[in-house]
């Protein structure tokens, strides 16, 4: 009720001090975030209220105006200051209530609760953190729906059939009904978030589960993109005697790349490229959730998990030289099928011999350039030669293994006293029962992936025989090498002058052992291990060879691809799958894809320049360029 205002110097102090003042004030006086009851997607405008006796109303208004000016420095918009008579007091004086009303648009609330928030009020602070993250999701969905609606109209004007519009644009938040409605609605009218979007209360219940009033929310990483930064960075250590841990990033799905060579030249197959593309597409089942042609029982699946490529050899899907030219000979020791859940096995039961979706592919290539003639000769590569690349992993089984152990490690993380900023960073010491179980399950996923790529090789050999049998002298495919990435392995390396057993996690990386290493196939040991670096479906790929320098610098590791510069969602916004297919085919690359949206995700412009990537790798000395391959046909899920 007193006469006070905001000091003028408050508007000139550092921003962080202004934020502390506002957050402390708001913790006591600003209304708490609250969603409308009707649908739960929108929020009431935040209100900062003060009560003043008659005679002090002007100072109260000046105080709120000062707060509004401070808020404007954070980009937070206020709408008005209202004044109303509140009550007549016992002494005859009159009290007035002044209210500073803030804009309730999503962007404004994100700035308010994301940048300023509340201090000294745990309930409000935790609630504001959840609302800010919820509204970020809402803004993304609104943007997705707006862009999809505009794209639908543009495609319709261009004469694209409705069925193709639906195929290209339909998604979780852009149903066919929404797309149809977009064709007739007022284009200037703002879209709503849609019925598929969760209410705030439902989101909050899931996003803050187990976190109490910490102010944290569970969230998934949407993309990882490089930024230009030249400043301090910080690392963390693990408070455990063994100074190591296993986290979700260790087990992904043991993706890998396999390179098959041939005895064919480009001129031998040029008349048959489209027919080969069709046969490869039929022989390599692709797409999310796709089932393969093998019908396995539980005992057979367990054998795959334990034996990997050796199972494929005993069943007639692999040759001895295939196994010899596979990393670890296609079988990780220590795999224990009992550590893989029934749900993971169920998902993997029907997917052996399938490609999957995302960035997985099968590709018909031609070797266009040789940089190291001696090493290329050892690998069986020559200029003008036809080759095939396969990139895939352990499919739904590997994904489920990761999901299962994220959940299992929740309790382990608490037991070992780890405080986590993200629930997917759950962890446990490597030598703990949980850590050992995880490694055993991961090794099963690796073996499954090797068996999967080996069965795909068998099916690709059949496709070549179907198209080229009787038309060319020798249509056989031989395995140059199969190497995994996104994998953690126990290996021996020299550290500080002595050999040590290490857990080497190659996330976004692949093995690149140098010459003389006993784990390199005997016929390659004089030159080193083949290193496979695919580009994108419209650019070149490279075969490199590991070096002794890689053993010294990177524990025998190298990049496993060009790497993305654009997230999948950004690529889909920037590129139309059908247009991309037409452009690639004009460039002489046959495309077979089950999803135009999936094709757009993997557009060449979404990736770094592979030429520069391998040049940097060679300049660093961790691998040496051997051969360049260019695509003739690409199979995508």
pLDDT digits (tens, 9 = 90+) for 526-580: 999 999 999 888 899 999 999 999 999 999 999 988 888 888 888 888 888 888 8
Lowest mean pLDDT among 148-162, 300-314, 549-563: 148-162
Query: Could you tell me the pLDDT band of residue 233, with boundaries at 50, 70 and 90?
Result: low
Give the count of beta carbons closer than 10 Å to the beta carbon of residue 264.
22
In terms of pLDDT, which residue wins out, 357 or 307?
307
Q: Which of 88, 120, 152 is the last residue of a domain?
A: 120
What pLDDT was estimated at residue 330?
Answer: 95
Q: What Rg value do the Cα atoms of the chain yield, rounded?
A: 30
Residues 600, 515 share a domain: yes
Residue 381 near residue 333 (C-beta atoms within 8 A):
no
Judged against a pLDDT cut of 90, whether residue 482 lies above it is answered with: yes
Report residue 27 CA to chain centroid gap: 37
Residue 452 near residue 445 (C-beta atoms within 8 A):
no
User: What number is the average pLDDT over the span 177-182?
Assistant: 87
Residues 182, 270 share a domain: no
Residues 198, 250 share a domain: no
Indicate whether this model's pTM tops 0.95: no
Q: What distance in Å separates the CA atoms of residue 452 and residue 447, rounded to the nearest whole number?
A: 8
Residue 173 near residue 139 (C-beta atoms within 8 A):
no
Residue 192 near residue 141 (C-beta atoms within 8 A):
no
In terms of pLDDT, which residue wins out, 506 or 377?
377
Residues 153, 128 share a domain: yes
What pLDDT was estimated at residue 234?
Answer: 53
Q: 321: domain range?
A: 246-636
In terms of pLDDT, which residue wins out, 216 or 243?
216
Judged against a pLDDT cut of 90, whether residue 328 lies above it is answered with: yes
CATH of the domain at 270: 3.90.1860.10
| HSE value, Cβ hemisphere, 13 Å, CA-based, for 37 | 0
Lowest mean pLDDT among 24-33, 100-109, 250-259, 283-292: 250-259
Is position 257 within any domain?
yes
Q: What distance in Å separates the CA atoms of residue 224 and residue 207, rounded to the nearest whole number?
A: 21
Judged against a pLDDT cut of 70, whether residue 245 lies above it is answered with: no
Token digits for 211?
């976190």
Is position 157 within any domain?
yes
Query: Could you tell me the pLDDT band of residue 229, with boundaries at 50, 70 and 90?
Result: low
In terms of pLDDT, which residue wins out, 562 or 262?
262
Q: What proportion of the chain, given as a percentage, has pLDDT over 90?
A: 52
Is position 236 within any domain?
no
**Average of per-residue pLDDT values in the chain:** 88
Q: What distance in Å separates the CA atoms of residue 495 and residue 505, rounded to the nearest whole number?
A: 16
Judged against a pLDDT cut of 50, whether residue 93 lies above it is answered with: yes
Residues 576, 439 share a domain: yes
Token digits for 421?
């900023």
For 44-71, how does the pLDDT look when each residue is reduced to its tens digit (9 = 90+)?
Answer: 999 999 888 888 888 888 999 999 999 9
User: What number is the average pLDDT over the span 255-272?
Assistant: 95
CATH of the domain at 44: 3.10.28.10
What pLDDT was estimated at residue 248?
Answer: 43
Q: What proportion of the chain, given as a percentage, has pLDDT over 70?
A: 94
Would you list the DSSP string of 251-268?
-S---EEEEEEEEEEHHH
The domain total for the chain is: 3
H/E stretch holding 485 reads strand 477-495
Residues 133, 115 share a domain: no
Judged against a pLDDT cut of 90, whether residue 335 lies above it is answered with: yes
Is position 2 within any domain?
no
Q: What distance in Å separates the CA atoms of residue 245 and residue 239, rounded to the nearest whole number?
A: 10
What pLDDT was estimated at residue 194?
Answer: 84
**Active site annotation includes 560:** yes
Q: Which of 207, 238, 258 is the last residue of a domain?
A: 207
Query: Could you tell me the pLDDT band of residue 37, with boundaries at 50, 70 and 90?
Result: confident
Distances (CA, A) of 187 to 181, 358, 583: 11, 33, 30
Indicate the DSSP class of residue 621.
T
Q: Which of 183, 207, 231 is the last residue of a domain?
A: 207
In terms of pLDDT, which residue wins out, 377 or 156?
377
What pLDDT was estimated at residue 242?
Answer: 45
Residues 448, 309 share a domain: yes
What pLDDT was estimated at residue 570?
Answer: 85
Residues 573, 513 share a domain: yes
Residues 185, 64 share a domain: no
Query: Could you tell me the pLDDT band of residue 631, with boundaries at 50, 70 and 90?
Result: very high
For 420-460, how does the pLDDT look when each residue is reduced to its tens digit (9 = 90+)?
Answer: 777 667 888 888 999 999 999 999 999 999 999 999 999 99
Is position 212 within any domain?
no
Query: Could you tell me the pLDDT band of residue 250, with boundaries at 50, 70 and 90?
Result: very low
User: What number is the average pLDDT over the span 519-530?
Assistant: 97
Q: What distance in Å separates the CA atoms of residue 20 and residue 18, rounded to the nearest whole number?
A: 5
User: What number is the average pLDDT over the span 345-369?
Assistant: 91
Is position 239 within any domain?
no
3-class SS shares of the chain: helix, strand, coil, % to 5? 45, 20, 35
- Choosing from 325, 360, 399, 560, which is the catalytic residue? 560
For 614-629, how does the pLDDT look when each residue is reduced to its tens digit (9 = 90+)?
Answer: 999 999 999 999 999 9
Query: Could you tell me the pLDDT band of residue 249, with boundaries at 50, 70 and 90?
Result: very low
Residues 430, 335 share a domain: yes
Long-range contacts of 566-571 (CB under 8 A, 24+ apart): 566/225, 566/603, 566/605, 566/606, 566/607, 567/222, 567/223, 567/225, 568/223, 568/358, 568/601, 568/606, 569/144, 569/222, 569/223, 570/223, 570/606, 571/600, 571/601, 571/602, 571/603, 571/605, 571/606
Query: Could you tell me the pLDDT band of residue 254, with boundaries at 50, 70 and 90?
Result: low
Residues 565, 489 share a domain: yes
Tokens 């293994």 sit on residue: 401
Residues 292, 257 share a domain: yes
């Amino acid at each position: 009720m007193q006469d006070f205002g905001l000091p003028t110097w408050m508007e000139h102090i550092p921003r962080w001090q202004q934020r502390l003042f506002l957050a402390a004030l708001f913790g006591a006086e600003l209304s708490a975030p609250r969603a409308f009851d009707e649908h739960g997607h929108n929020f009431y405008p935040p209100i900062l209220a003060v009560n003043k006796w008659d005679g002090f109303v002007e100072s109260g208004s000046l105080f709120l105006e000062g707060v509004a000016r401070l808020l404007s420095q954070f980009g937070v918009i206020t709408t008005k200051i209202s004044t109303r008579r509140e009550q007549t007091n016992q002494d005859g004086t009159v009290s007035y209530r002044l209210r500073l009303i803030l804009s309730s648009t999503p962007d404004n609330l994100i700035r308010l609760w994301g940048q300023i928030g509340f201090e000294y009020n745990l309930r409000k602070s935790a609630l504001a953190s959840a609302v800010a993250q919820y509204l970020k999701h809402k803004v993304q969905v609104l943007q997705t729906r707006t862009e999809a609606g505009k794209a639908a109209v543009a495609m319709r004007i261009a004469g694209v059939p409705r069925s193709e519009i639906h195929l290209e644009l339909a998604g979780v938040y852009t149903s066919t009904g929404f797309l149809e409605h977009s064709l007739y609605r007022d284009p200037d009218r703002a879209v709503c978030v849609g019925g598929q979007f969760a209410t705030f209360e439902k989101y909050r219940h899931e996003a803050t589960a187990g976190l109490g009033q910490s102010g944290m929310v569970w969230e998934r990483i949407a993309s990882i993109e490089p930024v230009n930064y030249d400043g301090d960075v910080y690392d963390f250590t693990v408070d455990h005697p063994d100074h190591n841990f296993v986290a979700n990033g260790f087990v992904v799905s043991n993706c890998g790349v396999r390179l098959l060579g041939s005895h064919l030249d480009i001129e031998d197959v040029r008349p048959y490229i489209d027919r080969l593309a069709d046969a490869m597409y039929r022989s390599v089942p692709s797409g999310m959730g796709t089932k393969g042609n093998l019908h396995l029982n539980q005992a057979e699946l367990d054998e795959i998990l334990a034996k990997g490529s050796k199972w494929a050899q005993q069943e007639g899907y692999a040759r001895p030289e295939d196994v010899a030219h596979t990393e670890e000979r296609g079988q990780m020791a220590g795999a224990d099928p009992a550590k893989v859940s029934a749900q993971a096995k169920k998902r993997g039961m029907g997917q052996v011999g399938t490609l999957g979706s995302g960035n997985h592919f099968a590709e018909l290539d031609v070797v266009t350039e040789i940089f190291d003639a001696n090493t290329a000769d050892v690998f069986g590569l020559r200029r003008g030669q036809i080759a095939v690349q396969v990139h895939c992993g352990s499919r739904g089984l590997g994904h489920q293994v990761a999901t299962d152990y994220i959940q299992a490690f929740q309790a382990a993380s608490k037991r070992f006293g780890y405080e986590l900023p993200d629930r997917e960073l759950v962890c446990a010491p490597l030598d703990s029962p949980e850590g050992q179980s995880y490694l055993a399950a991961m090794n099963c996923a690796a073996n499954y992936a090797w068996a999967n790529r080996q069965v795909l090789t068998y099916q690709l050999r059949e496709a070549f025989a179907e198209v080229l049998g009787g038309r060319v002298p020798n249509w056989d495919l031989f395995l140059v090498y199969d190497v995994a990435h996104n994998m953690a392995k126990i290996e021996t390396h020299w550290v500080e002058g002595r050999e040590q057993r290490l857990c080497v996690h190659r996330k976004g990386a692949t093995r690149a052992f140098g010459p003389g290493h006993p784990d390199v196939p005997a016929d390659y040991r004089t030159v080193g291990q083949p290193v496979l670096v695919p580009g994108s479906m419209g650019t070149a790929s490279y075969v490199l060879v590991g070096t002794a320098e890689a053993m010294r610098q990177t524990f025998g590791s190298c990049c496993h691809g060009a790497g993305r510069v654009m997230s999948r969602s950004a690529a889909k916004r920037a590129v139309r799958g059908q247009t991309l297919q037409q452009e690639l085919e004009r460039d002489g690359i046959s495309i077979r894809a089950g999803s135009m949206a999936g094709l757009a995700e993997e557009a060449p412009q979404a990736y770094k320049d592979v030429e520069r990537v391998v040049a940097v790798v060679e300049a660093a000395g961790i691998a040496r360029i051997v051969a360049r391959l260019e695509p003739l046909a690409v199979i995508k899920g």
